[in-house]
Structure 1
Amino acid sequence: MIFQSEFFFFFIERIISIFAIILPLLIAVAYLTLAERKVMASMQQRRGPTVVGAVGLLQPLADGLKLFLKETVLPSSANTIIFILAPILTFMLSLIAWAVIPFSAVAVFADINIGIIYIFAVSSIGVYGIIAAGWSSNAKYAFLGGLRSAAQMISYEVSIGLILLCVLVCAGSLNLTEIVISQKTVWYIVPLYPLCLMFFISALAETNRAPFDLPEAEAELVSGYNVEYSGMGFALFFLGEYSNMILMSALVTIFLGGWLPLISIAPFIWLPHELWFGLKVTFVLFFFFWVRAAFPRYRYDQLMSLGWKVFLPLSLAWLIFIAGILVFFVN
């Protein structure tokens, strides 16, 4: 009986922890869309959403309600089961990756010693949802979008993996919490600034964001792999994309000391670590918006050339260089 009661309380604690991560994340995703529209409107000298609620604060709720009430259209020629499961898979994978992200030294759902490998595994599976959506729609634009996304995500995962390997070599651990703690003396962005820049650009490509939004290129593919989706199917793809944006921004903060405060800003040292983490993620997300407003879309050959001919050899050279420096000077 004691064992059963302990298991019950452990189970309830885990459920509460899951909702403590998922609910704020969904709210953040909803208002991230509003923040993007406001930031881009400001950059283009517009006002952005202002009608629904005070200064447009209820616009994300109105958009979500609209998509929820819309009819879900199933194409007659589509593979119905896979067509329905594809957005669910994409959305679920965008959530479960957050299990190993540390918000502070103690605020992490699963503080496992192979956190980086877990992130790699989840992100590599994520491409299946988009491929499934493009193939099951049985439409040429959707299929081309799925193929583009698969090639793009696989290509840039290689450079992302090598860049994170450089961080692992410096930290000496696969545990994300230990990687953050290892930056108490100096943040990794100082010695590894080129790698941080390459990681951010690779994150843009990994999340299919402008200027690498070729899988959804409206001028060429209408809307790419999600062209046949409507209602909640489209909403799940939308939520998954923005959740992945926040996830990649959280990984970029690995170079910015994670939750560690900026000591030089004395008046703000009292802020809790979770708030420091949130401020850094917000700072990185701003650059996602800025890049979308400032840069035109790449050609597909330019995208693949950047990934395979520039980022891959550079990240591999940095890995060899860092490993050599550490072996020569540390050992």
Structure 2
Amino acid sequence: MGSFLDSINLAFIIAAAVKIVFFSFMVILPMVAYSVYAERRVSAIIQDRVGPNRTGIPLTLFGGKKDIALAGLIQPLADGLKFFLKEDFTPAHVKKFYYWLAPALVMVPAMMTAAVVPFGSELDLSWLAKLGVEGAWLHKPIKAVIADLNVGPLYIFAIASLGVYGIVLAGWSSNSKYPFLGGVRSTSQMISYEIALGLSIIPVLMIFGDLNLSKIAQYQDKNGWLLLPLWGEGLTLKRLVLWIPVFISFVIFVVAMFAETNRAPFDLPECETELVAGYHTEYSSMKFALFFMGEYAAMIIGSGLAVTLFLGGWSIPFGAPLGLGYVEGATPIWLGLLHIGCFLAKVVCFIIFFIWVRWTLPRFRYDQLMKLGWLVMFELALANVILTAALMVWLPN
């Protein structure tokens, strides 16, 4: 009995470590790097220019006659190498401890929130027994989520809200006017839109009756996406009428996510035309890169949460009727991998939407940003909660 428990615990530890390495370091960080590449390419297309298209395999360094361009896909690696090799300069007038601490406080919370986002259904490892692998843990499917918490959205909001401390510390510790103004702007902006962001998902949680993100994704797999209730039991009168507050929640959530991640048209904490670079004006080298990595990681996790709550998470459109849905304890490995690919594809589409909005809409004035947050978003989100509660009480099941 003891050896069995030991094997289960060991399997749990190994599975958690593999999932952390896979999702955090082999998915999130490469997506951060190539989101920057996508941003530069998409902005170039929108502005009718070329963008990065030369950086590839430098064969000329090894005696070759011509480099392989690869459409500039090696540009993120070149950018990362540049940040590593640049001088790590610390101005003499800064408060050094907090100046060094701030970039980590921006990057770490963004990565920690990835722990509760389900990036797939389950992975059945029983096929490893055919390869000679032994152990009782082979017969227990592994969930494609690092930590399957029953309070997933609350965990994400609690940890993500810590990122504002990094931005505030960066602005304050730099002892410079532009970073300080950027830090003050970011504080008031994030506080203002966090309220609307939290209220926006309350109708969603009321409809699902659960805070577990994995169960929310499984429910949508069987009954249709929250924004596309077209299969399973999704065509009931109640679900179709509840689509109205769901759509309002989705709009509020997306707008608040733009503001929380300091993305245009809500990029006032770092707007170049007013504050040089905002809260990270005095930073260089990898500390400067950590701010950008934190911003893009937060954008990716926010996209993953939006996909999970509103767009079915890892579920394939009409997957359950086509036999491509989740079956507890019996999901084959190829289908589990297909679910992971479906989730990542949806997140990529959402990231492209983030980029498209940035290079399409002009920046708000600060008074407009505050009025939108307090006089429109907050009241609309609160009214939407009341509307959802009323519809759930009055409508028949």
Q: Name the TM-score class by shorter chain.
A: over 0.9
Counterpart CA distance in 2 for 1:32 and 1:266 is: 34
- Please tell me whether residue 211 in structure 1 is matched to residue 265 in structure 2: yes
SS in structure 2 at match of 1:182: helix
> Could you tell me which residue of structure 1 aligns to residue 254 of structure 2?
200
Deviations 1:179-235 (A, max 9, x none): 222323232225122221221111111100011100001111100000000001001
> Could you tell me which residue of structure 2 aligns to residue 15 of structure 1?
17
Q: Judging changes above 3 Å, is the alpha-carbon distance between structure 1 residues 198 and 70 closer, same or farther for their aligned structure 2 residues?
A: same
Counterpart CA distance in 1 for 2:322 and 2:285 is: 47
Counterpart CA distance in 2 for 1:266 and 1:123 is: 37
Matches within 5 A, 1:128-143: 128-143=165-180
> Could you tell me which residue of structure 2 aligns to residue 295 of structure 1?
361
Counterpart CA distance in 2 for 1:4 and 1:282 is: 39
Q: Which deviates further from its counterpart, 33-42 or 178-187? A: 178-187
Counterpart CA distance in 1 for 2:175 and 2:357 is: 33
Gaps of 5+ in 1: none
Q: Judging changes above 3 Å, is the alpha-carbon distance between structure 1 residues 11 and 257 closer, same or farther for their aligned structure 2 residues?
A: closer
Counterpart CA distance in 2 for 1:126 and 1:4 is: 38
SS in structure 2 at match of 1:228: coil
Counterpart CA distance in 2 for 1:179 and 1:8 is: 28
Give the structure with the higher percent helix.
1
> Could you tell me which residue of structure 2 aligns to residue 263 of structure 1?
318
- Please tell me whether residue 29 in structure 1 is matched to residue 45 in structure 2: no
SS in structure 2 at match of 1:249: helix
C-alpha displacement at 1:9, in angstroms?
A: 5.2
Counterpart CA distance in 1 for 2:148 and 2:7 is: 24
Counterpart CA distance in 1 for 2:154 and 2:346 is: 23
- Pair member with larger Rg: 2
**Which one of 247, 268, 279 corresponds to residue 225 of structure 1?**
279
C-alpha displacement at 1:81, in angstroms?
A: 0.9
Counterpart CA distance in 1 for 2:298 and 2:119 is: 16
Task: Give the residue type in structure 2 aligned to 1:37.
Answer: R
Q: Which deviates further from its counterpart, 12-21 or 102-111? A: 12-21
Task: Give the residue type in structure 2 aligned to 1:321.
Answer: L
> Could you tell me which residue of structure 1 aligns to residue 395 of structure 2?
329
Matches within 5 A, 1:271-290: 272-290=338-356
Q: Which deviates further from its counterpart, 72-81 or 232-241? A: 72-81
CA RMSD of aligned residues (A): 2.1
> Could you tell me which residue of structure 2 aligns to residue 103 of structure 1?
119
Q: Judging changes above 3 Å, is the alpha-carbon distance between structure 1 residues 6 and 278 closer, same or farther for their aligned structure 2 residues?
A: closer
> Could you tell me which residue of structure 1 aligns to residue 291 of structure 2?
237
Counterpart CA distance in 2 for 1:108 and 1:281 is: 16
Counterpart CA distance in 1 for 2:319 and 2:144 is: 24
**Which one of 211, 214, 217 corresponds to residue 177 of structure 1?**
214
Deviations 1:220-275 (A, max 9, x none): 11000000000010011111100011111111112111111112899996781111
Counterpart CA distance in 1 for 2:187 and 2:380 is: 22
Task: Give the residue type in structure 1 aligned to 2:103.
Answer: P
Q: Which deviates further from its counterpart, 175-184 or 317-326? A: 175-184
CA contact (8 A) 2:259 2:266 kept: yes
Gaps of 5+ in 2: 57-69, 122-142, 229-242, 325-334
CA contact (8 A) 2:196 2:256 kept: yes
> Could you tell me which residue of structure 1 aligns to residue 227 of structure 2?
189
> Could you tell me which residue of structure 2 aligns to residue 63 of structure 1?
79
TM-score, structure 1 normalization: 0.94
Counterpart CA distance in 1 for 2:250 and 2:198 is: 13
TM-score, structure 2 normalization: 0.79
- Please tell me whether residue 90 in structure 1 is matched to residue 145 in structure 2: no
CA contact (8 A) 2:98 2:170 kept: yes
Task: Give the residue type in structure 1 aligned to 2:18.
Answer: I
Task: Give the residue type in structure 2 aligned to 1:139.
Answer: S
